[in-house]
Amino acid sequence: MDGPAPGLTGPAAPRSAPSLGRLAVLALLVAGLVVGGCLVITGGGSGDTPPTTLPPRPTSTLPLGDLSLAGVEALSGIDVPDGAQDFLSARLDGDRQLDVSFTLAPDQVDALVTTSDLPPLADGARVILHSSPLWKLNPGTPLSGAADVRDGINRAVEVTPEGDRIRVRLTLQAA
């Protein structure tokens, strides 16, 4: 067959060379992409670059020589009522923090708060924002919490039901 292919009406038109205007637009687009990529990689090129190191951590520590219940009470000003059980403590963060946990009878919670000069516990107030292996967290259980600063120590306490007792979670941090 010596004619045009089926569906074609005539010989193919010759291609014209790209115009100078089209080449200029293409060159500008490529240059813009290269410059934009460089700015993204280098952070915009402004002289106000953010610091690349973290701010220094506080250097104050807690005097954690005695981690017994009596030692924690003396350090924190928390007056734990008689009858507390399941006492655990863990020092963290280079002695900048002490996590404490124990259980009380439900009728002892008010005594803990008032004799320790803690602010009133607020229902639903989560004041301890990290997880500790001491916390024995039970998602969905109600909790109450309060926090304050006393003698250069940040004190945060949460209480939550645990069976027929109340679990007390206490975090002490060097201020």
pLDDT value at residue 102: 93
Residue-range definition of the domain harbouring residue 152: 69-174
User: Would residue 52 count as lying in a domain?
Assistant: no
User: Would residue 111 count as lying in a domain?
Assistant: yes
Structural domain total, the chain: 1
User: Would residue 49 count as lying in a domain?
Assistant: no
User: Would residue 38 count as lying in a domain?
Assistant: no
User: Would residue 15 count as lying in a domain?
Assistant: no
Q: Give CA–CA dist 134/103, Å, rounded.
A: 12
User: Would residue 87 count as lying in a domain?
Assistant: yes
| pLDDT tens per residue across all 175 residues of the chain | 555 555 555 555 566 666 777 777 777 777 777 777 766 676 655 555 555 565 555 568 877 788 888 888 988 899 999 999 999 888 887 888 888 999 999 999 999 999 999 999 999 888 887 666 666 666 667 889 999 999 888 999 999 999 999 999 999 988 8
CB atoms within 10 A of CB 7: 5
Q: Give CA–CA dist 36/9, Å, rounded.
A: 47
User: Would residue 153 count as lying in a domain?
Assistant: yes
pLDDT value at residue 129: 77
pLDDT value at residue 92: 81
Q: Per residue, what are the HEC states of 9-53?
A: CCCCCCCCCCCHHHHHHHHHHHHHHHHHHHHHHHCCCCCCCCCCC
pLDDT value at residue 3: 56
User: Would residue 83 count as lying in a domain?
Assistant: yes
